[in-house]
């Protein structure tokens, strides 16, 4: 296959070019008549008018007596009007107003005395009567065109004798997953198998947008097979998403397949992730309609962004839904962000309100890191003509959660330990409105984040080589003026995680030169410990294979060992257990929380301290293993 040169259209131009092309070819929504009972959330395609009045008869609005108001005139507290049974009709709410009557008196105001009925107030004509058409008059417009049907709207239509309405047909959107290595979801994928989950993400997004997703079976990387399934999908659907194979690889057939059954409007957008998207179209041969066909990059984050930015505006033309307002916020970015001048970049970020400023902590930028979307509170939008931002600069962030939620977020930035997730979970179970955003940037990263006022607190475990003590020497160095408190958390065991059965017979740190190693990032407490142990053991780290290979969490190191790409890595027992690894204890260390003094009184911080002191925390840590609890949650004097 000849190499395909991708274009580099700015995003807005690409979307406009695509919409123009689709509209030129006559892209249009379809309509269908549906019963009212199925209309919730649907969009009207034409105005709905009342067929009958509601109410369609004069109805009593209260339980009581119906009468002619005239006969009550003159009744007062002191001069009641007395009525005979023949002067009125006893009625219940909803009864038709009896002939000759024009008012209802509530039963509470009807005084029965001496076998007679007395009224101590006059009735006004038409009081407590729901007159014909009070709610809706026949011929009234109940809903205008292109309006979303609400529960009350459904009731109003039925009340007005409308049994069916004409709506915009929900577009059926076909999703075709492709790839030789793609397998249906399974708990036990083979090596090289990629679990097919994009179609589930895309289906759910489409459902949220008012479309009907239809997922086709996974098709192999064979042009003829992709073309055949694409042809079928175009004939069966109103829009089609062809997933993966969008790039320039030898088995990337999306653009070719779309071109062979229709037209590629453009291939390549100046965004990252998402650049190799293919914007195409084809004719539906059975219904002679135009079908937008989108070639979506295989990486899930790329796919989500392309769907959101490129396909959503197209689908909104088919669903006739209005784009919802996108909320933005200016936030201070917590670390340097590089960006290419060639692309507009979208970077997922956690957000929190610290010291009155909104802080954005960028998450993993990888296009394959779908979990970054799970954690993200917003998307940092770096324009194409920017080279990036320095830490502390203000950035534009598209909000994924409300500002109210972000204001409640407890921002924890520092060293990674699974206990933080357990604390967050206990908080959530105890107080449902608790929100915790924790980012793993290592102990030194935590110190800096708290110092810059960009985190409420951070986990730290920093060994001071000179004194052999933990944490306090660092606080003295970095916070000479105070402003932070140190809260006791846990003592935990650091050790070498090795393959089950310890096939390499590893005894301790001194064995590293004969192994392949996986390390933690510089600035993490574990890395500082490794560097210290290397010195103690007189090891030249340049001679240790993999010493420069850096992972950001204990579990990522454990995963590397479990996958066999490293013989050993330093970490905590709980991480080794998760991956079924053997654990060679090396030394205990103190893992504490560094809390900004200003943050100490926050409700969220107080809740966290309460959790640390409680029984559930102790129980959960016992299960995780490798921790000793002395006085968790207690403030430790340090200066």
Ligand X SMILES: Nc1nc2c(c(=O)[nH]1)N[C@H]1C(S)=C(S)[C@@H](COP(=O)(O)OP(=O)(O)OC[C@H]3O[C@@H](n4cnc5c(N)ncnc54)[C@H](O)[C@@H]3O)O[C@H]1N2
Q: Which of 581, 587, 550 is nearest to 567 (CA)?
A: 581
Q: Which does 170 bind (CB under 5 to 8 A by kind): ligand X, ligand MOO, none?
A: none
Q: Are 589 and 471 in contact (CB under 8 A)?
A: no
**CA–CA separation, 493 vs 486, rounded Å?**
20
As a whole number of Å, the end-to-end CA separation of the chain is: 69
Residue 299, preceding bond cis, omega within 30 degrees? Answer: no
Q: Is 273 in the site for ligand MOO (CB under 6 A)?
A: yes
Q: Buried b / exposed e across 167-179, counting CB within 10 Å, b at 16+?
A: bbbbbbbbbbbbb
Does 297 interact with ligand MOO (rule: CB under 6 A)? yes
Between 52 and 369, name the residue whose CB sits nearer to ligand MOO: 369
Residue closest to ligand X, measured at CB: 298
Q: How many residues bind ligand MOO (CB under 6 A)?
A: 9
Angle at 238 (CA atoms; ends 234, 240), nearest 5 degrees:
55
Contact partner at residue 246 from ligand X, ligand MOO, none, CB < 5 to 8 Å by partner kind: ligand X
Residue 302, interface with ligand MOO (CB under 6 A)? yes
Provide the minimum distance between the beta carbon of 239 and ligand X in the complex, in angstroms, as a whole number.
Answer: 18
Nearer Cβ to ligand X (221/589): 221
User: Which structure tokens are listed for 427?
Assistant: 């908080």
Interatomic CA distance for residues 419 and 426, integer angstroms: 10
Contact residue for ligand MOO among 272, 365, 408, 461 (CB under 6 A): 272
Binding piece for ligand MOO, criterion CB under 6 A, among 273-281, 388-396, 432-440, 551-559: 273-281
| Among ligand X, ligand MOO, none, partner that 311 touches (CB below 5 to 8 angstroms by kind) | none
Q: Between 44 and 83, how does the x/- string for binding to ligand MOO read (CB under 6 A)?
A: ----------------------------------------
Closest CA to 195 of 172, 177, 213: 177
Interatomic CA distance for residues 234 and 473, integer angstroms: 67
Nearer to ligand MOO, 133 or 273 (CB): 273
Q: In angstroms, what is the minimal distance from the CB of 4 to ligand X?
A: 10
- Given the structure tokens 């529960």, which residue do they identify? 151
Q: Out of 55, 177, 245, 274, name the contact with ligand MOO by CB under 6 A.
A: 274
Q: How far is the CB of 349 from ligand MOO (least distance, A)?
A: 17
Is 302 or 438 the residue whose CB approaches ligand X more closely?
302
Closest CB 376 distance from ligand X, rounded Å: 18
Whether residue 179 contacts residue 245, with contact meaning beta carbons closer than 8 Å, is answered with yes
- Shortest Å, Cβ 245 to ligand MOO: 13
Q: Which of 625, 611, 504 is nearest to 554 (CA)?
A: 625
Read off the tokens for 472. Answer: 């306090």
Question: Is 298 or 626 the residue whose CB approaches ligand MOO more closely?
Answer: 298
Burial of 524 (0-12, 13-18, 19+ CB in 10 A): buried
Task: Output the CA–CA distances (angstroms, integers) from residue 262 to 27, 113, 165, 279, 480, in the order listed.
Answer: 14, 87, 35, 11, 68
Please identify which residue in 275, 309, 416, 554 interacts with ligand MOO, judged by CB under 6 A: 275
- Does 367 contact ligand MOO by CB under 6 A? yes
| List of residues contacting ligand X (CB under 6 A) | 177, 179, 182, 194, 196-199, 243-249, 252, 273, 275-276, 297-300, 302, 367-368
Assess 245 for contact with ligand MOO (CB under 6 A): no
Retrieve residue 476's tokens: 């003295």
Instruction: State in angstroms the smallest separation of the CB of 357 from ligand MOO.
Output: 30
Task: State the residue for tokens 């002679």.
Answer: 288
Contacts of 24 (CB under 8 A, 6+ apart): none
Smallest distance, ligand MOO to C-beta of residue 198, A: 12
Residues that bind ligand MOO (CB under 6 A): 272-276, 297, 299, 302, 367
């Amino acid at each position: 296959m000849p190499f395909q040169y991708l274009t580099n259209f700015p995003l807005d131009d690409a979307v406009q070019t695509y919409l123009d092309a689709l509209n030129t070819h006559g892209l249009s929504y379809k309509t269908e008549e549906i019963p009212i009972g199925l209309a919730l959330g649907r969009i009207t395609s034409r105005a709905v008018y009342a067929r009958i009045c509601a109410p369609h008869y004069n109805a009593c609005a209260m339980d009581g007596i119906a009468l002619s108001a005239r006969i009550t005139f003159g009744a007062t507290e002191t001069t009641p009007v007395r009525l005979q049974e023949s002067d009125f009709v006893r009625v219940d709410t909803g009864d038709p107003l009896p002939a000759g009557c024009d008012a209802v008196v509530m039963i509470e105001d009807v005084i029965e005395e001496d076998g007679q009925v007395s009224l101590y107030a006059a009735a006004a004509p038409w009081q407590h009567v729901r007159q014909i058409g009070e709610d809706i008059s026949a011929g009234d417009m109940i809903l205008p065109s292109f309006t979303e049907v609400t529960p009350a709207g459904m009731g109003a239509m039925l009340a007005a004798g409308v049994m069916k309405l004409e709506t915009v047909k929900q577009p059926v959107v076909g999703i075709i997953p492709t790839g030789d290595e793609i397998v249906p979801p399974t708990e036990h994928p083979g090596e090289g198998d990629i679990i097919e989950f994009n179609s589930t993400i895309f289906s759910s997004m489409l459902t949220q947008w008012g479309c009907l997703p239809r997922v086709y079976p996974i098709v192999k990387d064979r042009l003829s097979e992709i073309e055949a399934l694409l042809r079928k999908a175009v004939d069966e659907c109103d829009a089609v998403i062809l997933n993966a194979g969008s790039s320039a690889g030898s088995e990337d057939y999306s653009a070719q397949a779309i071109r062979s059954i229709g037209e590629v409007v453009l291939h390549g957008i100046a965004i990252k992730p998402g650049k190799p998207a293919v914007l195409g179209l084809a004719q539906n041969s059975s219904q002679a309609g135009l079908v937008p066909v989108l070639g979506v990059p295989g990486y899930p984050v790329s796919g989500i962004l392309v769907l959101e930015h490129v396909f959503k505006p197209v689908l909104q033309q088919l669903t006739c839904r209005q784009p919802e307002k996108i909320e933005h916020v200016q936030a201070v970015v917590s670390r340097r962000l590089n960006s290419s001048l060639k692309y507009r970049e979208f970077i997922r970020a956690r957000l929190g309100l610290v010291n009155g400023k909104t802080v954005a902590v960028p998450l993993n930028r990888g296009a394959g890191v779908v979990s970054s979307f799970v954690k993200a509170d917003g998307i940092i939008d770096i324009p194409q003509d920017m080279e990036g931002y320095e830490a502390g600069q203000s950035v534009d962030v598209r909000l994924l959660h409300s500002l109210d939620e972000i204001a409640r977020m407890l921002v924890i930035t520092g060293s990674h330990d699974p206990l933080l997730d357990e604390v967050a979970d206990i908080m959530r179970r105890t107080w449902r409105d608790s929100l915790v955003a924790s980012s793993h940037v290592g102990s030194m990263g935590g110190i800096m984040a708290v110092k810059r006022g960009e985190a409420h607190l951070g986990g730290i475990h920093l060994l001071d080589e000179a004194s052999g003590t933990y944490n306090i020497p660092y606080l003295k160095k970095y916070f000479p003026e105070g402003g932070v408190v140190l809260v006791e958390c846990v003592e935990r065991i650091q050790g070498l995680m090795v393959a089950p059965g310890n096939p390499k017979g590893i005894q301790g740190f001194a064995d590293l030169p004969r192994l392949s190693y996986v390390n933690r990032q510089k600035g993490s407490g574990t890395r500082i410990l490794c560097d210290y142990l290397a010195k103690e053991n007189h090891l030249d780290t340049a001679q240790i294979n993999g010493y420069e290979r850096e992972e950001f969490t204990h579990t990522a190191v454990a995963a590397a060992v479990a996958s066999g790409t490293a013989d050993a890595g330093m970490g905590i027992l709980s991480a080794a257990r998760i991956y079924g690894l053997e654990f060679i204890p090396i030394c205990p260390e103190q893992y504490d929380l560094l809390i900004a003094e200003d943050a100490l009184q926050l409700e969220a911080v107080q809740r966290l301290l309460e959790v640390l002191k409680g029984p559930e925390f102790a129980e959960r840590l016992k299960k995780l293993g490798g921790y000793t609890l002395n006085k968790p949650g207690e403030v430790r004097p340090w200066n």
